[in-house]
Structure 1
Amino acid sequence: MRFTASTLFLFLAFSLSQAQEKQVRLIFAGDAMQHLPQIRAAQTPDGYNYDSCFYLLKEKIASADIACVNFETTLAGKPYSGYPQFSAPDEFASGLKDAGFDIFFLANNHVVDKGRRGVERTLGVLDSIGIKHTGVFRSKDFRALNYPLMVIKNGIRIAFLNYTYDTNGLPVTAPHMVNVIDTLQMKSDLRLTQLYNPDIVIANMHWGDEYVTRPNAEQKRLASFLFRNGVRIIIGNHPHVVQPLAKNKTNNEIETVVYYSLGNFVSNQQKINTDGGAMAEIVIHMADDNSPVKIISCSYSLIWVRKHTENGKLKYTVIPVEEHKKKAIPELTPEEWQKMNIFATKADQLIGSF
């Protein structure tokens, strides 16, 4: 086949326009916690291993271009501890990385549970295994150099912000810094963020009332504040239960979206609504270098934490609910199926209630 000059021009122009298209698929998971029974369950003769906890999610997480998780513990070293002041084995962070997570959000109410040493060691371990993180910093200078967290993926410039409502009243020892919710500081941060010329700004917020399935007035007020100041996607954590997803649309296009709470990603909590959570799944797209980012889709998938005994040893496995329903995985007992379905039915109702 012979190409005319005009045909070749059109072909090259089409190829160039296609090459300029950019798309990023993001996944966000909720609170990743380590209560003492979980730590004991992960113990092996040689240390700690979390492969059996996350293996069912590896394919889904790997399908994302960027996968993020709310890391709600410290890596303060031994002795390990759960609630109320957490310190998890380093292998917990490695297990999340091996599962496919790229970014850890650290600004939460437990980040200074183990004081200055806990903060310093947590940051050091995450750096040593190559995990990007934000929300907590070694010093004011570190914050100035590394905040917001800027990530360029598939040609799209994404700014990540992270704040917590408090640190359980525990002091943040100098020179460390923890991003606490303060609208004056946040407004200043957002002005600075625009100097980095991001294509989209995403905020991870540790907020809300524990075990309450509806966003409170403060969450709604802060969401409006963030949207007015340039944030387009908000991911919420802390309540340990899922809360609604709210989209703002113009001409049938998604302008902004807030997931008020993703609930628990992994924990030992078992009471109603706390034995699982949601994973936010968002696709953003740019037609070319000169076009604005569009939020193509914002959906979610549910996960449920199976707590069971195998060969006399306690085990935790995070289960993708829909995949297990489709495949009817036989190892779940009738009681476990019932628990998972009760959680999933209620979670679907809560997330879609706005």
Structure 2
Amino acid sequence: MKNFFKTSLALLLGMFPSWGLALGDDLKFSAACGPSQHFASISFVGDILIHKMLYVNVTQESQDFSQIWRAINPLFSKAHFSVANLEGPAALGIDSQGRDWGDVGFIYDDRVYSGTNFSFNYHPRILTDLKKSGIDLLTLANNHILDRTSLGIDRTLTAAQSAGMNVVGVRHSQDRNASFARIVTVQGISIAFVGCTESTNGRPDRKDQVLNCNQAQTENVIKELSNRSDVDAVIIYTHWGDEYKQSPNSRQIANARKFLDAGAVAVIGSHPHVLQPWDKYVTKDGRETFIVYSLGNFVAAQKDVERKASAVIYLGLAKKDQSKASITGVAYTPTVRSGYKILPVNSNGDRSVLNYLQKHFGKTGILNVDESLPLKLCRKLPEQGSFGYKSR
């Protein structure tokens, strides 16, 4: 029996060699931020779910969604570019049946705007509030994006354009040839962002508006982008996995590696509402790549530390001459919801939060609020003046 378990374990490790290796450990990357190189830092947060408790509080106080996460804004400012998942549409006046009620104002009525009963829609002001907070790009590919039908996606895209917000993972019903990606130049590095989801909660995507992680189309999108001479890196934000499970399932692991072998440099996951580990994966062509299987809830009104705590994840990229960009390092700052606010947590903070985060992301990668991000992400510093944080 003992030999049977040893053999079974060996087979499992052969199928998924990252189990027992880097998964959830302190990660190191070999690329350096040397002189005459472009260097860019990207931050990521998980699901933004404005549940009823939080939404009603916003309508009663500032009518500014950023009152929830304002304490995190300085963490976004540390990075050159910031990305999040907005869980659900921001469709002006549309109810769950796709009926248009017009501009009913900034309210919470459980008809047009709701954050409960598995049906979400936010006043489009949330897009402006995220933008002014420092979020530069949103993935909208998630299981709630069709909560206001196809029209809800169209209205959300219109609002995002008005707010100057980059979005990925969905497209307008009248533009079925539109890309699910967005190419953005950050500090001289051209990065293609993609978003995909495993599910739309059974709501049919009749107009092919949402990129599905489990279809070959997603891998093809990554291959096409990574082969372009004007793209230095491809990053995909995935909405996948089993809710409330703190380990990735076999499909997540297989798809993450498939996407990275197709040319992506990083896979950032969400949806389980809890954290799942990060990992370093060396692709078949020898590239060091990065996976976060789930960032859990950034904003949500769920209980217990596992659903209240999350992190701002940081990724460093460096590029020289005509080469593709490489990862220089990763770091994270823990966050936690306390009441109606999302707060940062330093390395001497709440022990239950830190234990939870360190279990998934290791101990050495923690970045305190007052620490320098480039020093954390770079083994060697690039030329002076090339870090340049974004101004708000």
- TM-score range, shorter-chain basis? 0.7 to 0.9
CA deviation vs aligned residue, 1:99-156 (integer Å, no higher than 9, x gap): 10000000000000111232121111111100000101004745x3434311112211
Distance 1:157 1:31 in 2: 25
* Aligned residues of 1:242 and 1:351 also touching (Cα < 8 A): no
Which of 343, 350, 353 pairs up with 2:360?
350
In the other structure, the counterpart of 1:333 is: none
Counterparts of 2:60 and 2:206, CA distance in 1: 34
Distance of aligned partners of 1:69 and 1:122 in 2 relative to their CA distance in 1, 3 Å threshold: same
Q: Greater relative contact order (Cα 8 A, min sep 6): structure 1 or 2?
A: 2
| Cα deviation code 1:152-188 (max 9, x no counterpart) | 12211111111100100012243x5101123421232
Secondary structure in structure 2 of the residue aligned to 1:116: helix
| Superposed CA offset, 1:293-333 (max 9, x none) | 221101222110111xxxxxxxx1110111783xxxxxxxx
Distance 1:190 1:350, change over 3 A: closer
Whichever residue aligns with residue 202 of structure 2, its letter is: G
TM-score scaled by structure 2? 0.73
Unaligned 5+ segments in structure 2 are 1-33, 94-111, 364-392
Alignment of 1:186-205 (within 5 A): 186-197=218-229, 198-205=231-238
Choose the corresponding residue for 1:62, options 56, 72, 77: 77
Relative to structure 2, which stretch is displaced further, 69-78 or 259-268? Answer: 69-78
Say if 1:348 and 1:254 are closer, same or farther in 2 by CA, change over 3 A. farther
Return closer, same or farther for 1:272/1:58 CA change in 2, 3 Å cut-off.
closer
Q: Which residue type is aligned with residue 224 of structure 2?
A: L
Match of 1:320 in 2: 344
RMSD, aligned CA: 2.3
SS in 2 for 1:185: helix
Which one has a larger percent strand, Structure 1 or Structure 2? 1
Q: What is the TM-score of this pair, normalised by structure 1?
A: 0.81
Structure 1 residues without counterparts, runs of 5 or longer: 1-16, 308-315, 326-339
Instruction: State whether residues 32 and 71 of structure 1, in contact with CA within 8 Å, keep that contact through their aligned partners in structure 2.
Output: yes
1:49 aligns with 2:64: yes
CA distance in structure 1 between the partners assigned to 2:213 and 2:314 by the alignment? 25
- Secondary structure of the residue aligned to 2:91 is coil
Runs of 4+ in 1 over 6 A off after TM superposition: none
Classify 1:171/1:233 alpha carbon distance in 2 versus 1 (closer, same or farther; 3 Å).
same
Equivalent residue number for residue 8 of structure 1: none
Aligned residue pair count: 308
**Residue 291 in 1 paired to residue 306 in 2?**
no
The one-letter code matched in structure 2 to 1:350 is H
Alpha-carbon separation, structure 2, partners of 1:139 and 1:117: 8
Provide the residue aligned with 2:334 in structure 1. Answer: 302
Which residue of 246, 270, 273 corresponds with 1:240? 273
Stretch deviating more after TM superposition (220-229 or 184-193): 184-193
Report the identity percentage: 29
- Give the number of the structure whose residues are more often helix, by fraction: 1
